[in-house]
Amino acid sequence: MGAKERRENIKKEIYKAASEIIINEGYTGLSIRKIASKIDYSPAMIYNYFENKADIVSSIWQENAKKIISTMSTLKLDSIDEKENLKTIYRTYIHLILESPQEYRAIMLNDIEGIDRVYFDFTDEEKESLRINNTKIFYDKCLKLGLLRPIDTERYAFFSWISINGLISNMILSSNNDKEFNKKLIEDYIDFIIHGLFKNN
């Protein structure tokens, strides 16, 4: 194992331990010493990677956010059916978050300092990618094509963002590992959202 790979593996161990502590004890219960004890490293070793616990939490959030940005900003929407393109946007985002349920539960479902600071370090374009590939622009396009019923696209983009993260939070907190059930739940949810937006469903 090379030095770079070893470094990344240690960071993953730190992220995992930090997330578990936050879930069980909250952010106030998180400390470098507790993380070190959980993964059998010295606190000094962890300080070689991070300045403090806020730095760890910010790094977890930023790495996951950048993964979302990278995927969503390059998502290919090549169907001639705009409903299918919107389903692809929703489905991809949901599955991206569900790939890291522990980190999402620890950070996004807790009131933690540092998250706003990291979020605002992103460019405007990156922030829009975080918000599901800028759904407002997509809604505007569909509205001009006469595909949507009359809606306030900005408000609906905001509602979509809240609703999708509500679904994700519910799925993560329920800890239901039935893959077929979860797959159907996601598809039923997406169909429900589409039905409320598009004409002639």
Q: Given a cut of 70, is residue 113 above it in pLDDT?
A: no
Q: Which one is predicted more confidently, 4 or 51? A: 51
Q: Where are the domains of the chain?
A: 1-50, 57-197
Confidence band for 90, pLDDT divided at 50, 70 and 90: very high
Q: Percentage of residues in the chain with pLDDT exceeding 70?
A: 88
Please, what is the average pLDDT of the chain?
85
Q: How far apart are CA 94 and CA 107, in angstroms?
A: 16
User: Under CATH, what is the fold of the domain 57-197?
Assistant: Tetracycline Repressor; domain 2 (1.10.357)
* C-alpha closest to that of 151 among 162, 163, 138, 164: 138
pLDDT digits (tens, 9 = 90+) for 146-201: 999 999 998 888 888 889 989 999 999 887 889 999 999 999 999 999 988 998 75
Average pLDDT on 33-58 reads 92
Return the H-helix or E-strand segment holding 140: helix 135-144
Q: Which of 130, 129, 5 lies closest to 61, judged by CA?
A: 130
* CA distance from start to end of the chain: 54
**Global confidence as pTM:** 0.80
Q: What is the pLDDT of residue 161?
A: 84
> Is the dihedral angle over the CA atoms 8, 110, 98, 64 positive or is it negative?
negative
Give residue 7's pLDDT: 87
- How much of the chain exceeds pLDDT 90, in percent? 43
Sign of the Cα torsion 113, 166, 137, 81 reads positive
Homologous superfamily (CATH) for 1-50: Homeodomain-like (1.10.10.60)
